[in-house]
Amino acid sequence: MTGLKMIGQVSAFAVSAAMGTVVVGAIGVIVAYSVLTTMIPADDTLWGDARCYLGVPLQTDSVCIQDQLNRALKEQEAAHQQREQEMVQKISALETEKVHLETARRGFEEKLDTLESMEAKVSTFTLFTRKAWRQYEVTSGVNYTSFVKDQAWSKAWCYVSITTPRGLPLHIQLATQEPGKLPDASDPEAAVREEAGFSVSDIAEARSHCQLPTP
């Protein structure tokens, strides 16, 4: 226990000595600076340059202060010019993008006018979509009265095209639909299914490939 006290006292003494050295050193620098400032005239050029370099100019060091002020103003002006240049570049980029968007808008309007003109020349038209199912093809058709603006349609249907075992082409109706109604998915007659070699589950599987409009 006595040994620990001695170690603590020695450590405290070492810390106090170190702190004292620092304090004495700092006081020494301050004293030296004060002595030098009294020994060297304030208008001494070399000493003025030294003060300027250390960043502690006196009021008599007008040239140094003016240089520092000019340097700060130049840095501020350069930063302002940089920000201004960046702003000009951003404005130029936005103007270019605006021109591109305007050109694209005019092109779209011209295409829309062309489509409306073409649509006005026909009363109705039908669009077909096809999806592969097994070795067959399921076809969906939608009869439109208008497509460019409101996509109005009058009827839709779906069928699967096959070749019977006897080599005859056959279209099996899978579903029909009218606007505002759900698809009518009546199963084909048993004779038709037998001719095609399909079961009820086969018809349901084929019907899942129909692409009819949303009611």
pTM: 0.45
- Check whether 29 has a pLDDT greater than 70: no
Q: Where are the domains of the chain?
A: 2-67, 125-207
Q: Does the pLDDT of residue 112 top 70, yes or no?
A: no
The pLDDT value given to residue 3 = 43
Describe the strand order of the beta sheet including 169-177 as a list of residue ranges. Answer: 125-133, 136-144, 153-163, 169-177
Provide the mean pLDDT of the chain. 74
Confidence at residue 205, expressed as pLDDT on a 0 to 100 scale: 94
Task: Give pLDDT, residue 151.
Answer: 75
The most distant pair of C-alpha atoms in the chain lies apart, rounded to whole Å, by: 126
Confidence of residue 65 (pLDDT cuts 50, 70, 90): low
Reported as a single tens digit per residue, the pLDDT across 154-202 is: 899 999 998 888 888 888 999 999 998 999 988 888 888 888 888 999 9
